[in-house]
Amino acid sequence: MPVVSTVPAPPDPSKPVETPFADAASPFKRTNAQMPAPIFMQPPPRPAVPGQSNWVTYRPQINFGLALVAFLMILVGAATVIEANSGASWRYYVAALPAVPGLVALAIFVRGLMALNDIQARIQLYALGLSLGATALATFGYGFFEGAGLPDLPPATVLPVMAVCWGLGTAYFAWRYRRS
């Protein structure tokens, strides 16, 4: 007949001690702690659009680039025609032709600005304001240097200066937003 006792048997020294908290501190066992649900859930991932091409993804940039290429081609052509026919009465109409693709590029640019979210629009607003002020200050200040004897600044240099200041301003304000 087996011996029955109310005293628990001593633990086997070859087996680890089982306590309610032994697994939580064990470096050898992976614990599955239940993390509380976050208060703000991330939006669900958007499903991938099958077969979406780069044309659809980068359409505004491609359209803007094509409008600028058309502008430059018409500009070079118009300058060549005007130089070859400097006495013609229609040269002013030819000189106005590059404005057509320029207006298309402007419309694409404004449509792209209107599609930005609030933070991107704020970054662009600050960058455009910085470029406007910096270009005005630089060109107005250079006007005083012209009076002191420096060569005249061609008006065609104003737009590239403004574009460089806008690019630098966009990079600065985007960096500043990411940093804060």
Helices (H), the chain: 54-57, 59-84, 91-96, 99-114, 118-147, 158-179
Neighbours of 136 (CB within 10 A): 12
Scanning the structure block, which residue is given the tokens 């600028």? Answer: 68
110 & 124 share domain? no
Number of domains in the chain: 2
Instruction: Supply the pLDDT for residue 8.
Output: 73
Could you say which of 68, 85, 115 is where a domain stops? Answer: 115
Residue-wise pLDDT for 6-64, tens only, equals: 777 777 777 766 666 555 555 666 555 566 666 666 777 777 666 666 666 788 888 98
Alpha-carbon distance 72 to 102, whole Å?
Answer: 9
**Is residue 143 in some structural domain?**
yes
Q: Which domain holds residue 133?
A: 117-180
Comparing C-alpha atoms, which of 174, 141, 173, 171 is closest to residue 158?
141
